[in-house]
C-alpha cells in the first residue's frame, strides 16, 4: 500500500483545513450536548422532587395515625411502686393508688436428691392450672392442661428439668442446691403466670404403675386434695396470689397480674412494689406536648416539600438565576395539588374543626405554613379529641355499640346511616339436661370428639369426680381449648352452665362459619341430646345500601365501599344512627403522595418523557457522527484529487520551465 501525505503535491496543510471544516460541521453536536445537559439536569431536579415527596409521604403517613393526636400521658408520683401508661381512651384526672400486694407465681419443690443425675422415674407429668381455696382445687377453664412425657433417657433429675422446660408449657423447672447433707438437690416447678388461678396441680402416670406413692416419677405428684406422701408429694414453697390495690377509696381490687389494664379506663399500671399504707398519686393528662410536636412535624413536612419545588421552579432575582424547572408544568402542578389539599375544608369531620387555620396552622404570603402555638393550645384545651380528625381518616359512629374498624382508599367521605336487621351470633351446642354424672371414668365417658368452626379434635377429660357441673364445664373448656389442632387454627370455645345446670358449648367465633359439634363417649353424659345451632352473620345496611356481613362486621358498598363497622350489640329493626367518615389532611396528602410517586404518576411520566428526549438526542448524535464520517471522507478524497492535479500541473510547469530554459540556451 503506497504511503500518502495529504498536501504534499499542493503544499497545503490539508489535515488542518479538513479539521477546521469538520469543526464547523460539528457545531450541531455541541448544541445537542448542551440540550442533553439541560435534560439531564431536569431529570436530576425531578429526582430531588421525588426524594422530597418520598420523605413527605413517610411523614404524613405517620401523622395520619389518629392515636398520634389523641395522646394521653399517665404519670406515677413514685415510679418505684408502679409505673403507668395511658391510651387515647383514658379519662384525664387524678387517682389515688395504693398497692397492698403484688401478684406472684406458684412454686412447688420436690424432696432432695443426691445429685443431678439421680434417677427419679419415667412416665408422664400432667400440669393443670387452677385456684386453691375452700374447694381445694378449682380448675382454671382458660388454661389448658399440659402433658410432658418423661422417657427412659430423661428420667434423671436434670433430664426431667430439661424436658419440662423444652415443652414450653407455662411451667419453669429449676434445680436448687440448698446445701443440706446427702440430698441437697431439689427440683422446683414454678408457674410462669402470676395469680391465684394459676396454681399448679401435677398428676403423674408412673411407668412403675403406682402413680401416687413416693417412689419413681410419682415423687413429683401434687394433688392439693390428696394426703401428703400419697399424691401430695411436692411441697408448696410460694403460694400463688393476686395483686391487691386500692383506687380512689375502692379497696381490695384483686388482679391476677402485676400489669393491670382494666381498673382505670385506658390506663395500664405496672405494679413494682407493694407499699401498704402508702398512697401514690396517678396523674392522667392530655399530652399536649406530643400533639404540638406532631402538628409541628406536619407543618415542617409541608414546608420542606414546598421549598424543594419552589427552589426548582422559581426565578431568583438577586442571582438572576432561573430554577432548573422554571415554568415546568408538571412540577408546578405537583405544588398546586399539594397546596389545594390544605385549602379545602374537611367534609363530614363530625367535630368542631374543619380547617387547619382553626387550630393555628395557616398559609403565609410566601406559600409556607406557619403554626400559631397559642391558638393550637386553645384548641387543645377546648376540643382535644377533634384535632385528630383534621389529620387522620376517622369514622365516628353515633351509636356506642357500633365501632369504626377501617376504611380503604375507595371509601368516600360522607355521613352514612346504619340499619341493623340481624345481630351476629355464635355457633353453639346446648345441652338438654344437666350432666348425667359428675364422675368421669377412663374409657367410659371421658372422650369428646369435637368439631369447632370446621376444625376437628379429640380430647380426653381427666378421670375423677367433679364437685359441680361448673367444675366439669371448666375441665371441658380447658381440654377443648388446649387441643393442638384447634389452637393452631385459632378456634376456641366458652363452656357455660345455666341455672338448671345445663351445659352450653359456644364457639368464640361469630358468624356463619361458627359451628360446634360434640360427639364421643362422653357427649351424652355431658349434654344429653343437645341442640346445635350455626352462627349467623350480622345483617344490615350502610348508607341505604345492603352491606355485606361477616361475623359482627358490616362492610359497606357504593360510596361506603371499604367502610367496615363492628356491630357488637344493640337493637335491631330500627335506625342505629349514623357514621361520619372523613379523611384528614395528613391522610389526603399521603394518598396524593402515593399517586404522585406511582409508576403511572406525573413524575415517572415526566422523567420517562425526558429520557426519551435524551434517547432521541443520542440517535441524532449518531446520525451526525455518521454524516461527519462521510463528509471527512469526501473532503479528503477531494483534497487528494486536487493535490494530485496540482502535482501534475506542477510537474508540467517544471517540464515547460526546463524546456524553455533549454531553448533559450541553444538560441545563443
* pLDDT, tens digit (0-9, with 9 covering 90-100), for 519-578: 999 999 999 999 999 999 999 999 999 999 999 999 999 999 999 999 999 999 999 999
Please report, for residues 4, 28, 96, 238, 244, the alpha-carbon distance to residue 252 in angstroms, rounded to integers and kept in the order given: 114, 92, 14, 21, 5
Using the CB atoms, write b or e for 330-341: b if 16+ within 10 Å: bbeebbeebeeb
Closest Cα to residue 556, out of 566, 545, 567? 545
Instruction: Give residue-wise pLDDT tens across range 393-406.
Output: 999 999 999 999 99
Smallest CA-to-CA distance from 301 within 61, 507, 134, 525 is with 61
**Quick one: pLDDT at residue 135?**
64
At residue 626, the 3 state secondary structure works out as helix
Least confident interval from 184-198, 268-282, 319-333: 319-333
User: In the chain, pLDDT over 90 holds for what percent of residues?
Assistant: 66
Q: What pLDDT is stored for residue 385 in this prediction?
A: 83
Residue-wise DSSP of 586-608 = HHHHHHHHHHHHSTTSHHHHHHH
Give 179's pLDDT tier (boundaries 50, 70, 90).
Answer: very high
Quickly list DSSP for 533-559.
E-----EEEETTEEPEEETTEEE--GG
Q: What does the pLDDT read at residue 336?
A: 92
Query: What's the confidence (pLDDT) of residue 6?
Result: 60
**Separation between Cα atoms, residue 87 and residue 205, nearest integer Å:** 48
Q: Is residue 515 classed exposed, middle or buried when 0-12, 13-18 and 19+ CB atoms within 10 A define those classes?
A: buried
End-to-end CA distance of the chain: 48
Asked if residue 55 has pLDDT above 80, the reply is yes
State which H helix or E strand residue 24 sits in. helix 14-25
pLDDT given for residue 361 in this prediction: 94
More confident residue, 634 or 272: 272
Neighbouring C-beta atoms of residue 498, cutoff 10 Å = 12
- Answer yes or no: is pLDDT of 1 > 50: no
pLDDT of 597 higher than 80 = yes
Q: What is the predicted pLDDT for the residue at 586? A: 92
Residue 12, pLDDT score = 65
Is the pLDDT reported for residue 59 higher than 90? no
Q: Which residue has the higher pLDDT, 381 or 156?
A: 156
pLDDT tens readout for residues 329-373: 888 999 999 999 999 999 888 778 999 999 999 999 989 999 999
Distance CA 69, CA 47 (A): 32
Average pLDDT, stretch 588-611? 88
Centre a 10 Å sphere on the Cβ of residue 79 and count the other Cβ atoms it contains: 13
pLDDT at position 268 over 80: yes
Q: What number is the average pLDDT over the span 216-242?
A: 95
Work out the average pLDDT over 253-262.
96
Q: At residue 272, does pLDDT exceed 50?
A: yes
Assess contact for 206 and 124: CB atoms under 8 A.
no
Strand, helix or coil for residue 523: helix
Query: In this predicted structure, which of 93-102, 189-198, 480-489, 641-650 has the lowest mean pLDDT?
Result: 641-650
Among residues 294, 283, 303, the alpha carbon closest in space to that of 380 is found at 294
Cβ neighbors of 240 (< 8 A, separation 6 or more) are 104, 105, 106, 132, 191, 194, 195, 196, 197, 198, 199
pLDDT at 668: 59
Query: 368-399, pLDDT tens digit by residue?
Result: 999 999 999 999 888 888 898 899 999 999 99
pLDDT value at 20 more than 70: yes
* Mean pLDDT to the nearest integer, 573-585: 94
Q: Name the helix (H) or strand (E) containing 390.
A: none
C-alpha cell at 181: 447433707
Average per-residue pLDDT for the chain: 91
Instruction: Of 193-207, 241-255, 334-348, 433-447, give the lowest mean pLDDT range.
Output: 334-348
Q: Would you state the pLDDT for residue 211?
A: 95
Contacts of 380 (CB under 8 A, 6+ apart): 286, 288, 291, 292, 387
Amino acid at each position: 500500500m503506497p504511503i500518502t501525505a495529504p498536501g504534499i503535491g499542493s503544499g497545503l496543510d490539508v489535515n488542518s483545513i479538513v479539521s477546521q471544516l469538520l469543526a464547523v460541521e460539528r457545531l450541531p453536536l455541541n448544541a445537542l450536548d448542551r440540550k442533553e445537559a439541560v435534560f439531564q439536569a431536569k431529570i436530576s431536579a425531578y429526582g430531588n422532587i421525588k426524594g422530597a415527596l418520598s420523605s413527605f409521604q413517610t411523614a404524613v403517613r405517620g401523622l395520619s395515625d389518629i392515636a398520634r393526636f389523641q395522646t394521653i400521658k399517665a404519670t406515677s408520683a413514685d415510679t418505684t411502686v408502679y409505673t403507668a401508661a395511658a391510651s387515647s381512651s383514658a379519662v384525664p384526672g387524678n387517682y389515688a393508688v395504693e398497692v397492698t400486694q403484688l401478684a406472684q407465681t406458684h412454686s412447688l419443690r420436690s424432696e432432695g436428691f443426691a445429685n443431678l443425675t439421680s434417677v427419679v422415674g419415667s412416665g408422664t407429668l400432667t400440669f393443670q392450672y387452677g385456684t386453691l381455696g375452700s374447694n381445694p382445687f378449682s380448675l382454671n377453664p382458660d388454661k389448658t392442661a399440659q402433658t410432658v412425657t418423661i422417657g427412659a433417657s430423661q428420667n434423671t433429675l436434670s433430664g426431667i428439668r430439661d424436658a419440662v422446660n423444652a415443652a414450653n408449657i407455662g411451667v419453669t423447672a429449676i434445680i436448687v442446691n440448698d446445701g443440706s447433707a446427702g440430698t441437697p438437690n431439689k427440683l422446683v416447678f414454678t408457674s410462669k403466670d402470676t395469680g391465684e388461678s394459676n396454681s399448679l396441680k401435677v398428676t403423674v402416670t408412673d411407668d412403675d404403675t403406682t402413680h401416687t406413692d413416693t417412689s419413681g416419677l410419682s415423687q413429683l405428684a401434687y394433688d392439693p386434695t390428696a394426703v401428703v406422701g400419697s399424691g401430695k408429694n411436692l411441697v408448696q414453697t410460694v403460694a400463688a396470689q393476686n395483686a391487691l390495690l386500692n383506687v380512689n377509696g375502692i379497696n381490695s381490687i384483686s388482679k391476677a397480674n402485676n400489669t393491670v389494664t382494666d381498673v382505670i379506663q385506658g390506663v395500664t399500671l405496672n405494679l413494682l412494689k407493694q407499699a401498704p399504707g402508702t398512697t401514690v398519686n396517678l396523674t392522667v393528662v392530655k399530652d399536649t406536648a406530643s400533639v404540638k410536636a406532631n402538628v409541628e412535624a406536619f407543618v415542617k413536612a409541608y414546608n420542606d416539600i414546598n421549598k424543594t419545588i419552589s427552589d426548582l421552579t422559581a426565578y431568583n432575582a438577586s442571582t438572576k438565576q432561573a430554577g432548573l424547572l422554571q415554568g415546568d408544568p408538571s412540577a408546578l402542578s405537583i405544588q398546586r395539588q399539594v397546596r389545594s389539599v390544605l385549602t379545602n375544608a374537611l367534609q363530614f369531620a363530625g367535630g368542631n374543626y374543619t380547617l387547619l387555620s382553626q387550630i393555628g396552622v395557616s398559609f403565609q404570603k410566601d406559600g409556607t405554613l406557619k403554626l400559631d402555638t397559642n391558638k393550637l393550645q386553645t384548641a387543645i384545651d377546648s376540643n382535644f379529641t377533634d384535632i385528630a380528625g383534621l389529620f387522620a381518616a376517622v369514622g365516628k359512629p353515633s351509636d356506642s355499640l357500633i365501632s369504626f374498624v377501617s376504611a380503604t382508599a375507595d371509601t368516600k367521605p360522607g355521613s352514612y346511616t346504619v340499619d341493623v336487621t340481624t345481630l351476629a351470633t355464635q355457633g353453639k351446642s346446648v345441652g338438654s339436661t344437666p350432666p348425667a354424672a359428675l364422675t368421669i371414668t377412663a374409657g367410659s365417658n371421658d372422650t369428646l370428639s369435637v368439631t369447632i368452626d370446621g376444625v376437628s379434635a379429640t380430647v380426653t377429660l381427666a378421670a375423677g369426680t367433679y364437685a359441680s357441673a361448673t367444675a366439669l364445664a371448666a375441665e371441658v373448656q380447658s381440654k377443648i381449648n388446649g387441643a393442638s389442632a384447634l389452637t393452631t387454627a385459632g378456634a376456641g370455645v366458652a363452656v357455660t352452665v345455666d341455672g338448671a345446670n345445663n351445659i352450653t358449648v359456644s364457639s368464640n367465633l361469630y358468624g356463619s362459619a361458627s359451628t360446634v359439634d360434640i360427639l364421643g363417649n362422653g357427649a351424652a353424659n355431658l349434654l344429653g341430646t343437645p341442640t346445635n345451632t350455626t352462627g349467623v352473620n350480622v345483617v344490615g345496611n350502610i348508607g341505604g345500601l345492603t352491606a355485606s356481613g361477616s361475623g359482627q362486621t358490616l362492610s359497606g358498598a357504593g360510596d361506603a365501599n371499604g367502610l367496615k363497622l363492628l356491630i357488637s350489640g344493640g337493637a335491631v329493626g330500627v335506625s342505629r344512627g349514623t357514621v361520619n367518615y372523613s379523611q384528614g389532611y395528613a391522610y389526603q396528602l399521603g394518598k396524593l403522595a402515593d399517586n404522585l410517586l406511582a409508576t403511572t404518576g406525573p413524575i415517572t411520566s415526566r422523567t420517562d418523557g425526558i429520557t426519551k428526549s435524551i434517547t432521541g438526542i443520542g440517535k441524532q448524535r449518531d446520525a451526525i457522527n455518521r454524516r461527519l464520517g462521510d463528509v471527512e471522507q469526501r473532503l479528503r478524497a477531494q483534497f487528494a484529487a486536487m493535490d494530485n492535479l496540482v502535482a501534475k500541473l506542477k510537474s508540467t510547469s517544471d517540464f515547460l520551465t526546463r524546456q524553455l530554459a533549454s531553448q533559450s540556451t541553444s538560441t545563443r
